[in-house]
Structure 1
Amino acid sequence: MTTKYAALLRGINVSGHKRVPMAELRTVLGELGHTDIATHLQSGNAVFRSTDEDENALAAALEEALHERFGFSVGCIVRSHAYLAAVADACPYPAAELEGKQLHVTYVDRPVDAGRFAGLDPQAYLPEAFEIGDRCLYLYAPDGLGRSKLAEALARPRQTEGLTATTRNWNTVAKLVEMTRV
């Protein structure tokens, strides 16, 4: 039996740094034995089928293969359709009423302890807001991620130390749920 997954690569193809062409990403995934491979956008979103059920092992193998191919490290998170759909369904914000650029999900490689954010005063960032989900953070940024002071605060080393995390806007979140549907 195979499962359909999304691979979310962190920090590639940004301002010409850590360039990973999507055709080569598809090739790497194929060389790892995955099938039904497709990519979305140039920002490191790929879907594939695999018989392996260990998301962490899939991510580690992809990180290693990318390092061998390109000579630099790329953090990867691999998640199944079931997980991606559950994250979308659990969104604490009215996604249908918002523009895709206003709502984001930061996927994290492990559960996030609320203690990481104890030093943040949510009132200081209003109307921006965030909520902790299952190995993710939901971020409401009405003026977009680029202008978000809360996103900046959430990305500080105290909040991210030891984590692999990568953020997608709601349009991409929804597209990955659709692309991984069996």
Structure 2
Amino acid sequence: MHYIALLRAINVGGNSTVKMAELRALGESLGFTGVATLLQSGNLTFEAGEAAVPDLEQRWEQAVAESFGVPAAFMIRTASEWQALIAANPFRDEAEEDPAHVLALPSKGVIAGPAVASLRAVIQGRERIAAGERCLYAHYPDGIGRSKLTTKLIERHLGTSVTGRNWNTVLKLAE
């Protein structure tokens, strides 16, 4: 079974630094095969026998904490779940035009409708959001860097951890 794993808050702003070569080696030591990384921000693909995703997340999180001394939240999806995430993107036209400003934000838990409404109510700019299955989609037409729609704000309203990847990265992980 092919899996895609996203680490939250790894190698961002010089914090929680983990070398990708060491992360690949850790995955192999855990018995996973075909372990590959994409970019330096904690994107992994690997193969393993069929397993419950929460069990895989816990296994990776514990191993990273023990090996590197950094807390790491993993959001793992099967390859078919990742394809469904791509197909469900409500901002397809925007992703085609400007993929760097469309984000998929996979979550640890379920995203409830009332939480999305609460988040939508506090958006101060032109950003738009939509919820999928364990994923929030966001379009940042004016850019992400100065937006008030931050991961911290998103997590506070949704009540679950998320990690964002721009649409370019989402598609590269699918390859």
Taking structure 1 as the reference length, what is the TM-score of the superposition? 0.87
Structure 1 residue 95: Cα displacement: 4.5
Matching residue of 1:143: 142
Mapped pair 1:167 → 2:160: no
Cα deviation, residue 122, structure 1: 4.9
Task: Tell me by how many angstroms 1:147 deviates.
Answer: 2.4
Aligned to 1:66: 64
| Deviation larger for 108-117 or 167-176 | 108-117
Instruction: Name the amino acid aligned to 2:101.
Output: Q
1:156 CA drift (Å): 5.4
Cα 1:108–1:33 shift into 2, 3 Å: same
Q: Does residue 100 of the first structure (1) align with residue 110 of the second (2)?
A: no
Farther off after superposition, 120-129 or 21-30 = 120-129
After TM superposition, the structure 1 = structure 2 runs for residues 1-182 of structure 1, keeping only pairs within 5 Å, are 3-93=1-91, 94-122=93-121, 125=124, 127-151=126-150, 154-155=153-154, 157=156, 159-161=157-159, 163-178=160-175
**Is the contact made by 2:130 and 2:137 (CA closer than 8 Å) also made in structure 1?**
yes
Do 2:8 and 2:72's aligned partners in 1 also have CA atoms closer than 8 Å? Answer: yes
> Are the equivalent residues in 2 in contact too, given 1:108–1:166 (CA < 8 A)?
yes
- Kindly provide the amino acid, as one letter, of the partner of residue 81 in structure 1: A
- Aligned partner of 1:127: which letter? R
Contact map agreement 2:111 2:134 (CA 8 A) in 1: yes
Aligned residues: 174
Identity %: 37
* TM-score, normalised with respect to structure 2: 0.91
In 2, are the aligned partners of 1:129 and 1:150 still within 8 Å (CA)? no
- Report how far residue 155 of structure 1 moved: 2.7
The 8 Å contact of residues 125 and 147 in structure 2, kept in 1 or not, is answered as no
Shift of 1:52: 3.1
Structure 2, unaligned runs of 5 or more:
none
